[in-house]
Structure 1
Amino acid sequence: MESTNKNIESLLEEINLLKEQLYDSNSIIEAIKHGDVDALVLHNNGVPELYSLETADYTFRLLIEKFGQGALSIAKNGLILYCNDYFSKLIDLPSEKIIGNYIYEYFDNPDNFTALIEAQKYGVNTHEITFKTQGDKTFPAYIALTDLEPAVQGIGVVVTDLTEKKKHEQALLHHQKKLEEKINELNRINKNLEEFIHVISHDLKEPLRKIVMYNGRIDGSNLTETDAKSMNVMKSSVLRLNSLIDDLVQYSSHTAQEDRTAVNLAEVIAEVKDDLEIIINDKNASIEIGNLPTIRASRVQMRQLFSNLISNAVKYSKPDIAPLIQISEIENFKSEVLEEAGKFVKIEIKDNGIGMEQGHLNKIFTIFQRLHAKNEYSGNGIGLAICKKIMENHSGDITVESQLHEGTIFNLFFPVT
């Protein structure tokens, strides 16, 4: 009997313990149902464990605090419910003095808040706003709003400081303006230079033409040998000056961009051979033309380019050896000059002429640069400068390889279009 009573007492104690546990569980569940307690239920090997969300989202809250942007939670009317440390630094106020105020109090124009809320109805959630700080300074910011309903009654706000971005934009605009001014100035100078060259051409060539004309009318039979010699020197000088003016006008004319068309280089070189027929025959020169491509270029400038290069090769030939000029396309080439050689066509003009010293190679494309005395070879030192300018006009390049007494190779690089 006594044993039975002990069993009954033990069962009653167990029942009371279970009731207390059930009561505690029901109290927690009711609190969760009524929103008094946030909770997260997990299962660990089949055993339920209860955690408050305050513990579960600690890492998330820490992340928001360390966020490299301003983060806020506001009510629909703009009341600030929470702000992170980054935003408080932007405004230059501690967070406890910001929370409880309205976000538009920190706008440079408070009326912008109404527009932000209205825009949300149409799915526009990002804006650029100017904020003001405690010291009445202002800074531009990118603001993004997210409606947190139905989970939470409120709006999430992310604020990105645009101060540095705006500084970079202003610096870029400043440099762009300066560049445009320089370009306009350069265009003006080029235009003035072209006008100046043409004025010089007109004003100088007319008196030169008269000098040559009246020089020819002088009866040389009545002149002494010394006077006749002086007249010949004068005539030669006038003709040289006239040639120099023509070359200057030609050089200046290649500053402008001309329309690009499909140009068959083999046809252009054939035309150049016809133009230079007299000097080619006089020197008994041979011109071998390999496979040449069709490129998009100015036909006039291509004719001038190859005319200058071929006439140079004929002019600077060895006195006892007939000039041989070979023109061809070089495929699958490698270049130390061009970063992307595959995007260029390479044309090689090779001759067997007198060649050049290595120290002269970096000078030959400079205007008025002469490597030989006037009594050795004619010319004004402008032809190769014109070639350089033509290649620049076509976004290409020209290089030279040469050795004294071994001939010269000019390399033309045209962009593939």
Structure 2
Amino acid sequence: MIDHRTYEELLRENAELTQRLEEASDTIEAIRTGQVDALVVNDSDNGHQLYTLKTADHSYRIFIEKMNEGAVSLNEEGVILYANSKFASMLGLGLSDIVGHIFETFVADDVREQYREVLVKAWDDDIQIEANICRKTGTVPCKLSLTSMQLDEGPSLSIIITDLTFQKSIQGLLKENNQQLTIANAELEASNHDLQQFASIASHDLQEPLRKILIFANMLMDKHGTELPGESRRFLEKIISSSQRMRSMASDILSYSGLSTADSDFDQVNLEEILAEILDDYELRLQEQKVSVIVGELPLVEGNRAQIKQVFQNLISNSIKFSRPDVPPVIRIFCDRGNMNGSRQEPATHCHITVADNGIGFEKKYQERIFSLFERLNNKDKYEGSGIGLSITKKIIERHHGWITAESAPGDGARFTITLPFRQPEKQF
């Protein structure tokens, strides 16, 4: 049979078919997105038939189509009656390859039995499971949220499918990072332990040769000091001074490393009694340097008595050491019973103890650095010490679950504030 249609007629018919196809696609999209509520179909046998969509479903259809999750509806046999576009894109399939198929066929084999068990329960209760959903290029980890619904056509099961690919990827990275962090922490703890042991042993072993150097240097000074030339005598004095400073440093390192390994025994500590003991020990030194120490009312706190005493010894010694040469030192020690929650009506949980002096002070930029190990802000020949005292103080306070801060200005003295809990936590370190 010869087709006598002209080229123009073929083009016109093709255009008409294309237009009808576009209209059909637009109609289907309108139905899916709720843009129409009724549809008239020309049936050659029965004439025009009117099919209506419930107006109540309008918002629901729009919502389902615009969701970022996949959504399907199943009948009692598990057949997919409806699927949104998102679910189709998750599988990389067309809707015609999904609707009318049993949902179970898209569930990975390894979780299919679990899905069957959940499917039975879901008709009575809302339930969620994680399952791999099959697609062309593999599987997608998903969360399935199953809810039963009662429609005019009968019972239906709604399943919301959430893609967990990103979450699983993040979980994997977090797990890997946590494992690496655990390994790094174990290595760091081992390294810290070795360093602490080394510091302790080295500091302890340094004591004996230093003691001998000082003994023989002092013997040489006592027996032959007057016979030595002036320059040689100055050299010997420097040997003695440096040895004394090194002995002090070794002793402080030993104390600092001991804080990292020793367990603390906490009891009720009377801070006023501790200050009274320190002032009694320092009586001659205070008199010689005309130091005034003003102590206010101080509380009882829970802590290690020897370590707390060392804190105040270090701070008082620090204030005396860095006093102004032309001004008698004045040290004030007082307490503010503060509540860390900011409410004075609630019971106080912490106290704030301040040690303030009228010494040489320091610049604001150093208020954190002064607590660093071996940090010195002043000339070591003019001001004795190892540069470890405030580091020890800070470490002791932190072991008591507190903290210490410093404020100062050059020529305006220094102000150290210690914050300590009245009671230590149940678990001790």
Match of 1:268 among 253, 270, 274: 274
Q: What does residue 145 of structure 1 align with?
A: 146
Unaligned runs of 5+ in 2: 1-50, 341-347, 424-429
Question: Structure 1 vs Structure 2: percent identity of aligned residues?
Answer: 33
Q: Structure 1 pair 333/355, CA: closer, same or farther in 2 (3 Å)?
A: farther
Q: Could you tell which deviates more after superposition, 270-279 or 374-383?
A: 270-279
Q: Could you tell which deviates more after superposition, 198-207 or 186-195?
A: 198-207
TM-score (normalised: structure 2): 0.73
**1:3-402 to 2 correspondences below 5 Å:** 54-109=54-109, 110-120=112-122, 123=125, 125-135=127-137, 137-148=138-149, 152-215=154-217, 220-221=222-223, 224-226=227-229, 230-255=235-260, 258=264, 260-330=266-336, 345-357=351-363, 361=367, 363-402=369-408
Distance 1:221 1:142 in 2: 90
Q: What does residue 412 of structure 1 align with?
A: 418
Amino acid at match of 1:371: L
Larger Rg: 1
Secondary structure, in 3 states, of the residue corresponding to 1:131? strand
Asked if the contact 1:388–1:397 (Cα under 8 Å) also holds between the matched residues in 2, the reply is yes
- Deviation string 1:224-246 (CA, Å, 9 cap, x unpaired) is 32466655443333222111101
Distance 2:373 2:134 in 1: 60
Asked if the contact 1:353–1:405 (Cα under 8 Å) also holds between the matched residues in 2, the reply is yes
- Deviation string 1:272-328 (CA, Å, 9 cap, x unpaired) is 334434423332322211133334444333222111101111222234543221111
Q: Structure 1 pair 186/91, CA: closer, same or farther in 2 (3 Å)?
A: same
Task: Give the Å deviation of 1:201.
Answer: 1.8
Q: Structure 1 pair 179/333, CA: closer, same or farther in 2 (3 Å)?
A: same
- Deviation string 1:53-96 (CA, Å, 9 cap, x unpaired) is 53442332222222232221113332212111121111111222
Unaligned runs of 5+ in 1: 1-50, 335-341
Secondary structure, in 3 states, of the residue corresponding to 2:155? coil
- Deviation string 1:136-181 (CA, Å, 9 cap, x unpaired) is x222111122233586233221212222222232233233333333
Asked if the contact 1:220–1:228 (Cα under 8 Å) also holds between the matched residues in 2, the reply is no
Amino acid at match of 2:273: E
Asked if the contact 1:255–1:393 (Cα under 8 Å) also holds between the matched residues in 2, the reply is no
Distance 2:287 2:417 in 1: 25
Asked if the contact 1:313–1:351 (Cα under 8 Å) also holds between the matched residues in 2, the reply is yes
**What number of residue pairs does the alignment pair up?**
360
Amino acid at match of 2:82: Y
Task: Give the Å deviation of 1:220.
Answer: 4.3
Task: Give the Å deviation of 1:332.
Answer: 6.7
Asked if the contact 1:276–1:311 (Cα under 8 Å) also holds between the matched residues in 2, the reply is no
Task: Give the Å deviation of 1:191.
Answer: 0.6
Secondary structure, in 3 states, of the residue corresponding to 1:364? helix
Asked if the contact 1:147–1:156 (Cα under 8 Å) also holds between the matched residues in 2, the reply is yes
Q: Structure 1 pair 219/311, CA: closer, same or farther in 2 (3 Å)?
A: closer
Distance 1:284 1:205 in 2: 33
Secondary structure, in 3 states, of the residue corresponding to 1:406? coil
Secondary structure, in 3 states, of the residue corresponding to 2:108? coil
Distance 1:381 1:102 in 2: 77
Secondary structure, in 3 states, of the residue corresponding to 1:287? strand
